[in-house]
Amino acid sequence: MNSCDLTLAGATLRAMGSGALFWPEQSLLCVSDLHLGKAERIARRGGAQLPPYETRDTLTRLASDLDATGAAHVICLGDSFDDRAAAEALRADERLWITRLQAGRKWIWIEGNHDPGPLEFGGSHMAEVTIGPLTFRHIAQAAAKGEVSGHYHPKATLHTRGRAVTRAAFLVDHQRLIMPAFGTYTGGLRSHNPALARLMAPDAHAILTGRMPVTIPLARAS
């Protein structure tokens, strides 16, 4: 499994190359910002006609991580759907796929700013949830300990061999972890952006996703 181990508030976690977070002790897989149905939402609002395959691609990668980890618990950390209409517009086979992924698992949908209320997709719908030393919520709070959040879609850049490689990334310090977006059609916020820099402690680092996750110090604006 391509992953990087880390410790947050005493919990040993694995930041996976896919952008998912696995907590072996709890058999828990956490993913953030799936933004299912984004292609439909953009087209509905008069934007670009993107290939409508992002939901299937995102669910394929999620299914692969569930198979790899054998997770019994799943937390979707908000903005799982691009908006309510996009959720309602999912194809029947995609809705069935989600149901099959949920089968035999405890599944929690955390509310996000794109999906602030319960939707008819099974599982539990919560504003946030605390399990042991960790609290899972969509948007980071100014003062928090043992917090796992999403929302910002962080990206970080690795400079190597004369070139720059930018990837979605986990941001981690001694008290919080900000998840990368898991969804296929998702942009990102650079890790040195002030909105992220003011949340993260001076000792924070980024874990770049990909086939070989890489840990680097968190870049700060110069």
**Which pLDDT score is estimated for 43?**
54
Segments in the chain below pLDDT 50: none
Q: 144, 135 in Cβ contact below 8 A?
A: yes
The 8 Å CB, 24+ separation contacts for 92-100 are: 94/36, 94/55, 94/56, 94/59, 95/121, 97/56, 97/59, 97/63, 98/59, 98/122
What predicted TM-score, i.e. pTM, was given to this entire model? 0.92
Q: What would the pLDDT profile of 134-166 be if each residue is shown by its tens digit?
A: 999 999 998 889 999 999 999 999 887 778 888
Q: What would the pLDDT profile of 57-77 be if each residue is shown by its tens digit?
A: 899 999 999 999 999 999 999
Q: Which domains does the chain have, with CATH numbers?
A: 3-217 (3.60.21)
DSSP secondary structure code for residue 36 in this structure: B
